Structure 1
Amino acid sequence: MPPTTDVPTISAVVPAYNAADTITRTVQSILDQTLPVCEVIVVDDGSTDQTAAIVERLGPPVRCITQENAGPNAARNHGVREATGEWIAFLDADDSWLPNKLERMAPLLKDDPQTGVVHCYTVDERSWHKYDGELTFDMLWDHNYVGTSTAIVRKAAWESVDGFDEDRQLIGAEDYNMWLRLAARGWKFRLCPEELVEYTPAAGSLSSQVRRVLDGELLNARRIAEFANLPPARLQQRERELYAEYGVAMFHARDMRGARQFLGQALRFRPSVDVLARWLATWLPDAVWKLRRRMPQSAA
């Protein structure tokens, strides 16, 4: 389907690091769109594999930019600075779009000059990632509803907050930080309530990653609280929620030491029966959990 004059120009930006195994599929999903982009910018973030060579062989409208390894947000910012489109559609190098993603989302780009972000759902999106009505700052503060690979961002909105924060300590909250700053500045978020993106979860052990991700989430909350001038009590409540959320994740991963630490931090902010019960359960001996796993499901 050829672009029409009333459709804003869209550039696709793909940060890539050691993505040789997935980058062709990812870029092809952009090229297969029923509504074409004006360009595809792949930013190779210091890969040590053949990512850049693969992308360079694809030819126009695909362009490869290389940089020293600086993290995904630095790569995204680099790509946006080079982009010529009025809107930037982001896609991570291991995800892909369904062919009609941009066509389905394009009508939402045109109506309101205060719209800063348009997003959709991923395939098999979990129910608690969905919402009704307008996505507000308060809703985003409680939960990140916007996946990076689903988002199309007005370049002027990106410029208004000086782009993505490139601090690599924000691991796990790189995009979330951006959405919150845009919402705090009054930019509107619009939802195309369709599952239009194939999302690939990051590899790696939960236990090995969760501590760094929690630190990133806490840093993000503190920075956004300062940026949006939130009261201290609201930040403390969010910190408690994060400790409890990640403590439960560690509990389910059977990392009882980590769960005990995080749930204990949540209890220090404010005691609650449910968090206390989880914390007490982390002290049960391993033999109890092994016995429980051996029990038939019908006996549970």
Structure 2
Amino acid sequence: MNYTVIGGGVGCARFVKGLREHVRRAGQGGRIDVVVNTADDWWVSGLRIAPDHDSLLYALAGVNDAERGWGRAGETERVSAELAVWGTAPDWFTLGDLDLGTHIARTAWLREGLSVSEVYRRLGARWDLGVTLHPATDSEIDTHVLLADRDPVHFQEWWVRHRAQLPATGFAQRGIERAAISPGARDAVARADVVLIAPSNPVVSVGPVLAVPGMRQALAGTPAPVVGVSGIISGAVVRGMADACLAAIGVETSAEAVARHYGARSAGGLLDGWLVDESDGDAVAPLRDEGIAARAVPLWMRDPDTSARLAQDALELASTLR
């Protein structure tokens, strides 16, 4: 079986770890590909930073800081403090020393002319991830936040510095009209037996992946079922500030509303199936009426067992849709 996951960040990392665990426990083998959002990447102190990719890389390698939810475990921050003193990095965006090693390696390879896809391959080769990571695109498509009362700012400034408190009216990926789906992402969708939309931020993690030219066409053309997992439980985000992102584009913070935002594939949207939490069971029937095969299951990923069970539930739903 070939499993292709689309998303980015901590929610995606937890889900992919659960999928990897389920595949290992089932003993049936299988290839797991992850198409990763690149639109929250940016430049800091001359270094290319890739938060969604690195969250996945570190979590799958088992070297992430699980308490903070980002970066490497056992970090020090001496270099970041020096960069702030020199004024080459904002003091509100802290980079650990081990993390900086990743960014320096990434930037060195990019400056040598390697593609983002090849950089992903080299970074992933350090550990036995059991998963292959692919950028959605090899082009730079950094997200900028459109604000009601001032000029746009980079997504990271809005997210990290301002904690998504500045009133936003939308999000734009600069240069995305000239981008193209990466070869690895295209092939991952084409060979998939199941496509899974991770419980990532639907606006700034999944949305930019879907907006890459060629991506929606690839997903529309795959014979594989497309099943998504809600990152909203009982009207609240599981992690982060996705509610602020949803509000900015006029979407209610609910599992049902996010499913409608993605849309039914039978009606030109994305989804064949959608998992909601048991607490959101009332959404199942209305979504089914709209062409999305919804199912209510426990969504909280508290440990390897619950994460693996969620992945199994997603695959079981997909098996009914083939």
Kindly indicate whether structure 1 or structure 2 has the higher relative contact order, using CA contacts under 8 Å at least 6 residues apart. 2
- Normalised by the size of structure 2, how large is the TM-score? 0.29
- Normalised by the size of structure 1, how large is the TM-score? 0.31
